[in-house]
Amino acid sequence: MNNKIIKFLIVIIIVLIIVIGFLLLFPYINNQEVKKEDVLDTKPIEQIQDTPTPKPSIKIIMFHNGTGPMCLDAIDFFVESSIQYQEYLDTEIDFQEKLAQYKENHMANSEGVSPSFSYYPIIFVGDRAFSGFNEDVRNEILIILNN
């Protein structure tokens, strides 16, 4: 046989071995893929035990745009802390009317990053309101929920 044909056959055999090996291993490789729901919560036990669950009388309402960094941080905080909240997005038709009603019913100014409701998210926790979201607002919400 010609030397070129032998080399060609060897290459074909090697490629077939690789393909067959991949096909045989693919189900195992695919099952090893890390899925979000399979990842264990790695919070320290103390942090898990200190996570508050809001008292039934404390209602949390968040008005936000769903895209800003403070809005996304607030959402992450509520989700990670398993705190239930009701949300209104600024894309909803009656967003401004509902926000005005909450502002009127709760207080003339807000706590948090902005005392004049200048930043989203605007979060109402019980009878208090917070405009913007940062570590201080997070801690204050935790204090409210733990009392």
Task: Report the domain count for the chain.
Answer: 2
What domain range includes position 32?
3-37
The answer, yes or no, to whether the previous bond of 115 is cis (omega within 30 of 0) is: no
The model's confidence at residue 44, banded by pLDDT at 50, 70 and 90, is low
Q: Note whether 82 and 17 are same-domain residues.
A: no
Reply yes or no on whether the pLDDT at 102 is more than 60.
yes
What is the per-residue pLDDT across 111-145, written as a single tens digit (0 to 9) for each?
888 787 788 898 988 888 898 899 999 999 898 88
117 residue type, one letter: F
Strand, helix or coil at 118?
A: coil
Q: Note whether 115 and 51 are same-domain residues.
A: yes
Q: Note whether 62 and 118 are same-domain residues.
A: yes
Q: Note whether 15 and 75 are same-domain residues.
A: no
- Residues with Cβ within 8 Å of residue 27, at least 6 apart in sequence: none
